[in-house]
Structure 1
Amino acid sequence: MAKMLYSATMSLDGFIAGAGGDMSWLTEHLGPNPLVDELIGDIGALLVGNRTFRGDDPHKGRPGEGKPFGGGWDGPQFVLTHHAPDTPIPGVTFVGDVHTAVKAAKDAAGDKYVNVLGAETARQCLEAGLLDEILVLIAPVLLGDGVRLFDHPGGTKVKLERLSLSGVPTATNLWFRVVG
């Protein structure tokens, strides 16, 4: 059965996107990472937030622009949104609620991961008790403003258990299991 994994590259000060959703900061941190290379083969489907799906692309101007993981992954994508486009997009299903989106993505992923992309979508999955693991690649940079990895106004405590710690020059990889 598929597991739900939230993965993101984050600045040391906790942002996965810069001010206004800017992702250009990430481009210089997209270097080789064996953990990510291996993970891509274990992803069966993507669950993507609308802001992430329609947002800035760190691969802008590169051959993989507009494709998941810069073209390194291909498969079914499920976008969580209340505003589906009028024109269908091949390989992309637009879903209006988190439970339906997670079920569809898990069914499509089989025994592989559903990779959650987008802070708001990950927060919704976490609050609904649907998120199994979190992989954070910490980039050696401070952004000072932007979209946080996890934001819950008023605060909340989510217990995590570290599964692994590794690193490459462009990032420190931290993999966690969601405990509760």
Structure 2
Amino acid sequence: MGKLLYSAAMSLDGFIAGPGGDMSWMTGYLGPNPTVDDLVPDVGALLVGNRTFRGDDPYKDTEHEGEAFGGAWSGPQFVLTHHAPDTPVPGVTFVGDLGSGVAAAKEAAGDKYVSVLGADVARQCLEAGLLDEVLVCIPPVLLGDGVRLFDHPGGAQVKLERLSVTHVPHATNLWFRVLR
């Protein structure tokens, strides 16, 4: 089975979304990123938090609005929620608990990555000892407030091993393995 990878763009001060889940801050930093571009074909499924699924989109008002990785990826998505919509969403399975969501996403991904999208789902995966790797793309911006990459007041330290550091004109990419 594949690995669980938490991938996110993050401001230098640690926010993956601005206040209220605003993702518009990313618009000026979208563009070619060989690290991400090389990752996309290795992603077999997405495990997405409900707020991320229903939230703002950095590709809003473009032809790729609502598409993972700006339309570069398509495949099975598993949304962790206690409130599935009444109307089915093509390609999306709604799951009520972390364990069944991770199991379904890993099965769908096969030997490829399950890309975890959403800070709360990533935190839950870390707490459960399920997260394998973290990829953070850091553009040169400070947001000052919003949704943190990892927020667990009073939580235990999570040790990471750096796998790679790469630079592109609009970001620095940091890739880590989660140590257990």
Q: Match for residue 24 of structure 2?
A: 24
Taking only aligned residues, the RMSD between alpha carbons, in angstroms, comes to: 0.6
Alignment map for 1:76-87 (pairs within 5 Å): 76-87=76-87
Seq. identity, %: 77
Deviations 1:32-76 (A, max 9, x none): 101100100000000000000000000011110111111110000
CA distance in 2, matches of 1:91, 1:63: 18
Q: Match for residue 167 of structure 2?
A: 167
SS at 2:10 equivalent: strand
Q: Match for residue 75 of structure 2?
A: 75
CA distance in 2, matches of 1:171, 1:125: 26
Letter of the aligned partner of 1:25 in structure 2? W
Structure 1: where are the runs of 5+ without partners?
Answer: none
Deviations 1:123-179 (A, max 9, x none): 000000000000000110000000000000113200000000001011100000000
CA distance in 2, matches of 1:122, 1:155: 14
CA distance in 2, matches of 1:147, 1:139: 16
CA distance in 2, matches of 1:179, 1:9: 21
Structure 2: where are the runs of 5+ without partners?
Answer: none
Aligned length: 180
CA distance in 1, matches of 2:130, 2:155: 19
CA distance in 2, matches of 1:68, 1:60: 12
CA distance in 2, matches of 1:54, 1:112: 25
Q: Match for residue 99 of structure 1?
A: 99
Letter of the aligned partner of 1:172 in structure 2? T
- Please give the TM-score of this superposition, normalised by the length of structure 1: 0.99
Alignment map for 1:141-180 (pairs within 5 Å): 141-180=141-180
Q: Match for residue 124 of structure 1?
A: 124
Letter of the aligned partner of 2:118 in structure 1? G
Q: Could you list the runs of 4 or more consecutive aligned residues of structure 1 that deviate by over 3 angstroms after TM superposition?
A: none
Q: Match for residue 43 of structure 1?
A: 43
Deviations 1:1-33 (A, max 9, x none): 210000000000000000110000001111110
CA distance in 2, matches of 1:155, 1:11: 22
CA distance in 1, matches of 2:107, 2:155: 32
